[in-house]
């Protein structure tokens, strides 16, 4: 990354090469971009980085618990694993289509929503995205806090707070550190999961765990929904972590590596969770971390290493959630203030806000985590499937990858402040799901006729996609002939690239 005009230099020893080298190294590590477009001169990496990041992000304890939920709520492990794979593939494909937008646009994911919802109208899904990040930060902190508390012998509450502080620091450093964490977590957690899988099968025969082939369709669909919601929840921020890739990066490569990494990591974790919950029975519920660590055999060194692995895996995903929440908050505010750049102090303040809110929720809800997390996942799905459908239909089928990036920051420009076709479609997409939704606090009238199955997420994808296409496919006056990109240093002159 090239030096910026305000790069740090030591006033005490301006001629010291060691001092300048260390400051330049720090300067290149700490990210300067927020929601502004990444110039071509700062692009780096290959599409394979998406595989390592999303593999590491999914080989972690919350994904294990998500897989276990399918069994805890009644599904046989055999059918639960198949259902989880279907959900991971379907949701992962949608998520990977969002990832492929990153290199092309060079922008965080939710900024592109302004092309559909308007510069200010995009705040509607954004507010829900921020709630999602806080919720995932909290749920991750509960499980990681247990691990940190055991590792430090300071208890769960102190563990949650310590974990939150480390997460905030890593998110403040930004993009490069996040990808480094993903690579490290991918290797370390993969080795740990291989070891834990061997230990689990030493205790219980695999054939015994998969012996029950009782098929229950509603429970099967619940398991599909759990894993699909897991993947779809990455959609609002997945392009944040591909936007530094060179613009010439193949969309197919970005899609493929993202899909492979996220499905492999999540299915591996969820399969382990389903088998562990089957083997443990009621001993798993409420003691997820201690049960998994207990598989290590009880030796002090192994126990400490497993607690560390759990904390490392959760650190990776919680940093993603904190960073994504920071981006979404800045996007929301900038839609009204018209600013795309942010000072280091402002960046720290946004990240601190996410950390404090997520930690508070974690501390309040840590005693009823498992059931609350299941309802939280399904609730999120109701609001993010319509957004995904609208964003993908617009980007791939209507605009066909041709956006005016400077206009995404101008409420008086090509996209306007509010785009009512997308906002109306979004509301219809949410409402269309309600009759098919099944949660602890609300069950729709069509759930019982379907045997208790929750298919709301399928409705939430199909209905908004069809409605938005019908309303918007002929309204293309705002679509530029080619992608229009912001000025690229050092020339300062705007340029365009050929579409597609």
The DSSP string of 113-142 is: GHHHH-TTTTHHHHHHHHHHHHHHHHHHHH
CATH number of the domain located at residue range(s) 33-237+247-368 in this protein: 1.10.4160.10
DSSP codes, 203-223: HS-HHHHT------HHHHHHH
Q: Enter the pTM of the model.
A: 0.85
Q: Find the angle CA(451)-CA(453)-CA(454) to the nearest 5 degrees.
A: 150
Neighbours of 82 (CB within 10 A): 15
DSSP codes, 339-360: -----HHHHHHHHHHHHHHHHH
Say which residues have a Cβ less than 8 Å from residue 235's Cβ, sequence separation at least 6. 94, 95, 98, 109, 384, 387, 388, 391
For the chain, what are the domain ranges?
33-237+247-368
257-311: pLDDT as tens digits: 999 999 999 999 999 999 999 988 777 766 777 888 888 877 788 888 888 888 8
Instruction: Give the best-scoring range by mean pLDDT among 39-53, 278-292, 318-332.
Output: 39-53
pLDDT average, residue stretch 137-163:
80
Q: Find the angle CA(135)-CA(139)-CA(145) to the nearest 5 degrees.
A: 135
Residue 374's pLDDT is: 57
Say which residues have a Cβ less than 8 Å from residue 316's Cβ, sequence separation at least 6. 56, 57, 60, 178, 181, 182, 185
CB 225 within 8 A of CB 70: no
> Running DSSP on this structure, what letter comes out for residue 450?
G
Q: What confidence category does residue 69 fall into, taking pLDDT thresholds of 50, 70 and 90?
A: confident
pLDDT average, residue stretch 422-439:
92
Q: Determine if the peptide bond prior to 490 is cis (ω within 30°).
A: yes
pLDDT average, residue stretch 394-415:
91
Residue 82's pLDDT is: 97
Q: What confidence category does residue 429 fall into, taking pLDDT thresholds of 50, 70 and 90?
A: very high
Q: What is the rounded CA–CA span in Å between residue 198 and residue 255?
A: 32
Residue 19's pLDDT is: 41
User: Which value, in Å, is the radius of gyration of the alpha carbons in the chain?
Assistant: 23
| Residue 154 reports pLDDT greater than 90 | no
Say which residues have a Cβ less than 8 Å from residue 167's Cβ, sequence separation at least 6. 137, 141, 315, 318, 319, 322, 355
| Residue in 266, 259, 260, 261 with CA at minimum distance from that of residue 93 | 259
> Among 49-53, 60-64, 74-78, 468-472, where is mean pLDDT lowest?
60-64
Query: Which uninterrupted H or E stretch holds 161?
Result: helix 156-173
What is the helix, strand, coil percentage profile of the chain, to 5?
A: 70, 0, 30
Q: What is the rounded CA–CA span in Å between residue 414 and residue 477?
A: 9
Q: What is the rounded CA–CA span in Å between residue 60 and residue 270?
A: 9
Q: What is the rounded CA–CA span in Å between residue 199 and residue 317?
A: 25
Q: What confidence category does residue 55 fall into, taking pLDDT thresholds of 50, 70 and 90?
A: very high
For residue 365, give both structure tokens.
């809800």
| Residue in 223, 314, 234, 235 with CA at minimum distance from that of residue 267 | 223
């Amino acid at each position: 990354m090239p030096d910026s005009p305000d790069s740090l230099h030591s006033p005490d020893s301006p001629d010291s090469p060691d001092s300048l080298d260390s400051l330049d190294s720090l300067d290149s590590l700490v990210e300067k971009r927020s929601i502004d477009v990444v110039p071509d001169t700062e692009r780096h990496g290959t599409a394979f980085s998406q595989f390592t990041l999303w593999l590491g992000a999914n080989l972690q304890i919350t994904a294990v618990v998500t897989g276990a939920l399918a069994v805890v709520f009644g599904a046989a492990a055999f059918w639960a694993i198949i259902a989880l794979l279907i959900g991971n593939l379907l949701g992962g494909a949608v998520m990977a289509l969002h990832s492929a937008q990153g290199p092309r646009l060079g922008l965080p994911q939710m900024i592109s929503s302004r092309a559909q919802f308007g510069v200010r109208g995009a705040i509607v899904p954004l507010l829900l995205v921020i709630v999602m990040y806080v919720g995932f930060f909290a749920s991750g902190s509960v499980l990681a806090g247990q691990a940190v508390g055991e590792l430090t012998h300071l208890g769960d509450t102190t563990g949650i707070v310590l974990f939150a502080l480390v997460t905030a620091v890593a998110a403040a450093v930004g993009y490069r550190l996040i990808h480094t964490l993903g690579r490290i977590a991918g290797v370390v957690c993969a080795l740990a999961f291989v070891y834990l899988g061997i230990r689990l099968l030493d205790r219980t025969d695999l054939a015994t765990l998969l012996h029950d082939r009782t098929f229950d369709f509603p429970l099967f669909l619940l398991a599909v929904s759990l894993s699909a919601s897991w993947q779809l929840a990455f959609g609002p921020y997945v392009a944040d972590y591909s936007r530094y890739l060179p613009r010439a990066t193949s969309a197919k490569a970005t899609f493929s590596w993202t899909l492979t990494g996220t499905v492999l990591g999540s299915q591996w974790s969820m399969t382990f969770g389903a088998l562990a919950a089957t083997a443990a029975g009621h001993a798993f519920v409420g003691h997820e971390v201690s049960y998994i660590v207990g598989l290590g055999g009880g030796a002090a060194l192994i126990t400490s290493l497993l607690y560390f692995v759990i904390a490392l895996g959760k650190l990776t995903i919680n940093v993603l959630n904190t960073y994504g929440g920071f981006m979404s908050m800045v996007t929301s505010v900038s839609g009204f203030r018209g600013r795309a750049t942010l000072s280091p102090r402002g960046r720290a303040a946004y990240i601190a806000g996410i950390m404090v809110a997520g930690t508070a929720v974690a501390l309040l809800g840590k005693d009823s985590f498992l059931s609350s997390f299941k309802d939280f996942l399904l609730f999120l799905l109701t609001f993010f499937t319509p957004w995904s459908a609208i964003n993908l239909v617009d980007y791939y089928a209507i605009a066909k990858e041709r956006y005016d990036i400077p206009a995404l920051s101008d409420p008086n420009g090509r996209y306007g402040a509010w785009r009512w076709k997308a906002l109306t479609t979004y509301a219809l997409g949410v409402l269309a799901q309600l009759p098919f939704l099944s949660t602890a606090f609300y069950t729709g009238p069509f759930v019982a006729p379907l045997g208790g199955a929750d298919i709301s997420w399928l409705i939430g994808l199909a209905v908004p996609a069809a409605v938005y296409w019908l309303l918007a496919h002929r309204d293309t006056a705002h679509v530029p002939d080619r992608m229009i990109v912001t000025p690229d240093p050092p020339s300062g002159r705007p340029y365009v690239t050929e579409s597609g």
